[in-house]
A and B are shown apart, each in its own frame.
Chain A
Amino acid sequence: MKKMIALLSILAMLLTVFTLPAMADEEPIRIGTIYAMSGGKAAIGENILRGIDFAVAEINAKGGVNGRMLEVVRGDHAGDPAQGKSEAERLITQEHVDVMMGCHMSTVTEIVAQVCTQYGVPMITAISTLDRLSDADHEAMDYFFRLCPLNSVYVEDMLKYLKDSAAQTGEEIKTIAIFTDRAAIGQELIRCVELYKDEYGFDLVATVDYTSDATDLSAQVLALKQADPDAILCDSYIGDATLFVQTLKAQNYTPKMIVAKANGFTDPAFLANLGATANGVASVVEFNPDLINGQEINEEFKAQYGVNMNGHSAESYTVVWIFKTAIEAAGTTDGAAVRDAIAALDIQGEFPGGRKIVLPYDRIKFENYDLAGEPHFRDNTSASVAIAQVQDGEWKTVWPFDFTDTQILYPAPLQ
């Protein structure tokens, strides 16, 4: 008898797999989100989802979109492309989401975007920066839009910052080195630096890489010390970013300039881990609390979540507002109509009925254009980044100069 009960309960469980998701209230507009909520990259997912929840609460409090409330349906890709595909299919066919947001690993984004295009569900990525996602091979992926800048824009802005810094520091940067992960993020950094270094007149003296989740970076730091560049460009996940700065300290090596391509360096845990040791490290930021348009929202955000809004939260917050605006313009949640509305969108300065754009640019428009001679499709061409530097244990925007009064701390003290 017991065995029969056990067997029946297993059967019942299997049945629920296929029947339960069908019951859902059709009333609200459903935004599907696919981020890593478990596994090693879950912290990033959490920041993104905070931004989304914040925007949804704000919009719902003002009466929703066309009188309908917004609802977030979360999927978890745990960093795995196959799981991302599964989740995209589940959200679209079982949960019937109207629009999709994701992901934070560009490779997963690529697959999810294919699924969305196949089903005609508009998708905007808030933070996937891989150039390839919008290139000629993906021209047909016409339900997919990108808000954030591309990797090459990030890196070009990093080089511009190095160039411009001479005006404040009085010393011109001539030689640079790359310190980065062997994973995809590092490959992109290397590719983009190679693309622009000659144009900006930098001499690349060393490229030092390591395998993710390193336990020891002393050999890499020694190699950097030997090459002795004027500035180090880096990109790492949080664990490696922390270890890198600690190793610099342990080896008593203080490069004059360290500029990171966000990721681990702008993770809230970076400052918590390192404290004063991080002083002087600079990084690309998509958002910073001291930006003129970001101060007000950051206070509200911090009151709710106890942490500052970061780039990922701000970008995902913005995407929810883009969806709201586009769905209102389309007057429907029909996939093709919303896609056309997103493509036609031109937001200048502020969202209708909402805030000013909280990111360091003042226009959002998705366009087809040429980047370094290659055609790209449906990117937000006005997107750009700012550079912030850790000063007294806080990220202060230091570039572009007309966005801030803060001076660059040079050379980086690392203490």
Chain B
Amino acid sequence: MNENVKAVRAYRRNLCIALGLILLVFVLIPVFVKSPYVLNVFVLVFYMSTLSMAWNLLGGMTGQNSLGHAAYMGLGAYASCLLITKAGANPWLSAVFGMVVVGLVAGVIFYPCFILRGPYFTLVSIAFGEAMRQFIINSTFFGRASGVGLPFGKDSWLDFRFMSKVPYYYVGLVMVILIYLLMKKIERSRMGYALRTIREDEDAAAAIGINPTKYKIMAVVVSAMVAALVGFFYASYIRYIDPDLMVQAKSTESVLPAVVGGAAYVEGPLVGGLIMIPLSEFLRARFSAMLPGINMLLYAVALLAVIRFRPTGILGWYMHSRFKRFVDEKLLRKPPVEVFEAVEMEKHRGKEA
């Protein structure tokens, strides 16, 4: 029995080391990579992956395919920017304000909508996004179509404003990690199980005492709040927002990393973002000057290829691949399932005794 416990501990330790090494690489990148353009690509990866994780909570985990996430992001950006420019508030506080406002708006608007299922929910989310965009275009308070710019000035942590990419890189990295941990926590919590049950069969979920509406609302609110946080980050980074931030195409962009990476996994958006965004930047940098638009065509082909040949995403493939078996067995020394079971049983018995 002791052997088993040791094996499991060794595996966990190896896993931690592996994750630690990956993290270390990301922490060290700005030390070695001096090109602002490359850092900029990483910042894009961070915030798009975070947005995609927000989508994945709803789309991947709950099975509610939303196509309105750009609207949450845009609203969050607007709420925090307006608080900064009109009331002179501190940006960090404004970020919290933006998240709360967007969480409330999403909760209130989608509460009655959860009678709808499947494609109808998707349609409402599209309508929501477009309605929000039109609302802002027609509202003088929101600056109509002219957008809102954040003030420029000296570098300052208090104002979250920098010339260099490095602070944005680290803040973005922290944001990705925190949101990832949050999603992981949700996945393993009661809520995560409830959401997945709802995804598989809503009626069955209701029959076993899960309140689908309650959990779906919780998922929408959390998802919208994370998107609002991304909106704040985006606005602070680009320092200008306009209603075009909320167009339908942007919502689709938030879905892509999750779908490519594997929507069934919390890590999916991270993997997808890390592949698709550099790919898109690369295609544009290499090809757009030769034949305008060819970059988007190639991007679409890459996307179609993934969807056609790896419909469960890259992680969906990896999870059943020989490569994973190699990583698990040779690198991480993962013991067989029986060993885990034995250790669990032992723990259980210990408790009972």
Binds A, one of B185-193, B234-242, B341-349: B234-242
A182 touches B146 (CB 8 A): no
Contact residues in A for B156 (Cβ distance below 8 Å): none
- Tell which of B35, B238, B289, B293 touches A82, judged by Cβ atoms closer than 8 Å: B238
A14 touches B147 (CB 8 A): no
Closest Cβ neighbor of A185 among chain B residues: B145
B14, CB-defined interface residue at 8 Å = no
B242 touches A38 (CB 8 A): no
Closest Cβ neighbor of A90 among chain B residues: B37
Least CB distance from A37 to B in Å reads 3
A86 touches B244 (CB 8 A): no
Least CB distance from A164 to B in Å reads 31
B240 touches A81 (CB 8 A): yes
B281, CB-defined interface residue at 8 Å = yes
B141, CB-defined interface residue at 8 Å = no
B152 touches A38 (CB 8 A): no
Residues of A26-41 whose CB lies within 8 A of B: 37-39
- Tell which of A37, A83, A182, A188 touches B293, judged by Cβ atoms closer than 8 Å: A37
B323, CB-defined interface residue at 8 Å = yes
Most buried by B among A20, A73, A85, A137: A85
Contact residues in B for A10 (Cβ distance below 8 Å): 275
B38, CB-defined interface residue at 8 Å = yes
Most buried by B among A38, A39, A79, A182: A38
Contact residues in B for A7 (Cβ distance below 8 Å): 323
Closest Cβ neighbor of B290 among chain A residues: A74
Contact residues in A for B288 (Cβ distance below 8 Å): 37-38, 74-76
Contact residues in A for B323 (Cβ distance below 8 Å): 3, 7
Most buried by B among A18, A74, A188: A18
A211, CB-defined interface residue at 8 Å = yes
A110 touches B149 (CB 8 A): yes
Would A94 and B35 be within 8 Å (CB), given that A73-B289, A182-B145 are in contact?
Answer: yes
Docked pose: A82 CA to B45 CA in angstroms: 13
Docked pose: A87 CA to B286 CA in angstroms: 12
Residues of B21-78 whose CB lies within 8 A of A: 35-38, 40-41, 44
A74 touches B138 (CB 8 A): no
Contact residues in B for A118 (Cβ distance below 8 Å): 163
Contact residues in A for B144 (Cβ distance below 8 Å): 182, 184, 187
Least CB distance from B212 to A in Å reads 36
Residues of A1-60 whose CB lies within 8 A of B: 3, 7, 10, 13-14, 16-18, 20-21, 37-39, 42, 45
Interface of A is mostly: helix
Contact code string A169-189 (vs B, CB < 8 Å = 1, else 0) = 000000000000011101110
B292 touches A38 (CB 8 A): yes
A80, CB-defined interface residue at 8 Å = yes
A107, CB-defined interface residue at 8 Å = yes
Closest Cβ neighbor of B137 among chain A residues: A182
Residues of B310-353 whose CB lies within 8 A of A: 321-323
A79 touches B244 (CB 8 A): yes
B137 touches A42 (CB 8 A): no
Docked pose: A90 CA to B284 CA in angstroms: 11
Interface size on B, residues (CB 8 A): 41
B134 touches A211 (CB 8 A): yes
B285 touches A90 (CB 8 A): yes
A89, CB-defined interface residue at 8 Å = yes
Least CB distance from B256 to A in Å reads 15
B296, CB-defined interface residue at 8 Å = yes
A186 touches B238 (CB 8 A): no
Least CB distance from A85 to B in Å reads 6
A279, CB-defined interface residue at 8 Å = no
B152 touches A186 (CB 8 A): no
Most buried by B among A10, A45, A107: A107
Closest Cβ neighbor of A190 among chain B residues: B144
Closest Cβ neighbor of A106 among chain B residues: B146
Contact residues in A for B137 (Cβ distance below 8 Å): 182-183, 211
Contact residues in A for B240 (Cβ distance below 8 Å): 81, 107, 110-111
A37 touches B292 (CB 8 A): yes
- Tell which of A17, A73, A140 touches B282, judged by Cβ atoms closer than 8 Å: A17
A42 touches B293 (CB 8 A): yes
Docked pose: A87 CA to B292 CA in angstroms: 14
Residues of B125-170 whose CB lies within 8 A of A: 134, 137-138, 144-147, 149, 151-152, 163
A381, CB-defined interface residue at 8 Å = no
A86 touches B40 (CB 8 A): yes
Docked pose: A90 CA to B44 CA in angstroms: 14
Docked pose: A86 CA to B42 CA in angstroms: 11
A93, CB-defined interface residue at 8 Å = yes
Closest Cβ neighbor of A79 among chain B residues: B244
Contact residues in A for B275 (Cβ distance below 8 Å): 10, 14
Docked pose: A75 CA to B321 CA in angstroms: 39
**Cross-chain pairs A/B with CB under 8 angstroms, 30 sampled:** A3-B321, A7-B323, A14-B278, A14-B282, A17-B285, A37-B289, A38-B293, A42-B292, A81-B240, A81-B244, A83-B284, A86-B37, A86-B40, A86-B281, A89-B37, A93-B37, A107-B240, A107-B242, A110-B240, A111-B239, A111-B240, A114-B152, A137-B151, A182-B144, A182-B145, A183-B145, A184-B144, A184-B146, A187-B144, A187-B146
The 10 closest A-B pairs by CB, nearest first: A37-B292, A38-B293, A74-B289, A17-B282, A76-B288, A184-B145, A89-B37, A183-B145, A93-B37, A90-B37
B residues bordering A, Cβ < 8 Å? 35-38, 40-41, 44, 134, 137-138, 144-147, 149, 151-152, 163, 234, 238-240, 242, 244, 275, 278-279, 281-282, 284-286, 288-289, 292-293, 295-296, 321-323
14 new A-B pairs (CB below 8 Å) besides A82-B44, A86-B44, A107-B147? A13-B282, A14-B275, A17-B285, A38-B292, A74-B288, A74-B289, A76-B284, A86-B41, A90-B37, A90-B285, A93-B36, A94-B35, A182-B137, A183-B145
